[in-house]
Amino acid sequence: MDIDAYFARIGYTGPREATLAVLEALHLAHATHIPFENLDVQLGRPIAIDLASIEAKLVQGGRGGYCFEQNTLLAAALNELGFGVTSLAARVRLGATRVLPQTHMLLAVDVGGERWLADVGFGTGGLLMPLRLRSGEVARQFSWTFRLREEGNHLALESLRGGTWQDIYVFSLDPRYPVDFEMANHYVSTHPASRFVQTLAVQRQSPGACYLLRNRELTCIRGDQTTVTEIIDDEDLLAVLKDTFGLALPPGTRFKCLQGG
């Protein structure tokens, strides 16, 4: 990969050794510079998850993406620096009313004799920093708090929200391979029951705030304060995408799920 272009995209200018400090800095820089988004699904474009296509879109193109794109890009950078990286798969639970397929990609990273969970591709209040793969250890990450909970042979990632622990997703440590994610990517980008087919989803997270766009509803979460703004006009929506998320699209761009069929 073009590691220099990637570092420029995420604003990273630090060391390039395979240390925990570098992993933490890269994770935070990536999570706060490249937005989560599924705009291409709503524009009727295929989502390619080979590294060259991801670099062209997220690095050179200044766009964002979802888990398969985001975490494949981070994994390539970590491999380039000499980290041991294993791809994993999870079932999302946050906001789910049924058992969902394993359509979320995350990473296990070996560094300093320990394993860490790295995930820059979750779309609703996900990790800003890597999380030690150890059950029960509470980790405060700026305005957000996380922990892992053992569940049989699996681990559940939880987030503390409104004083209550909520499941984000559940996963095992069984390695996954590119072909597994090709199948999952096809489902989430094309299946009528997929959230990403049904809903426009964009997110940008920072240490102090989380901005969520779901269709025409923009939510800003700052600690315990939440504000919600309805976006009526299509051109106003494009302005929000540019000003709030750094995603510039041509005037007149329209998204399938917002066009009333």
3-class secondary structure, 57: helix
What amino acid occupies position 26?
L
Pick the catalytic residue from 119, 167, 186, 220: 119
CB 50 within 8 A of CB 70: no
* Geometric angle at alpha carbon 211, from 209 and 213, rounded to 5°: 170
Pick the catalytic residue from 27, 40, 67, 210: 67
Pick the catalytic residue from 50, 104, 154, 191: 104
**Rounded to an integer, what distance in angstroms lies between the CA atom of residue 136 and that of residue 3?**
35
**Rounded to an integer, what distance in angstroms lies between the CA atom of residue 261 and that of residue 255?**
11
Q: Where are the beta strands (DSSP E) in the chain?
A: 36-37, 84-92, 102-111, 114-118, 131-132, 139-141, 144-151, 154-161, 164-171, 201-205, 210-214, 217-222, 225-230
Is 67 known to be catalytic?
yes
CB 171 within 8 A of CB 90: yes
Is 30 known to be catalytic?
no
Residues with a known catalytic role: 67, 104, 119
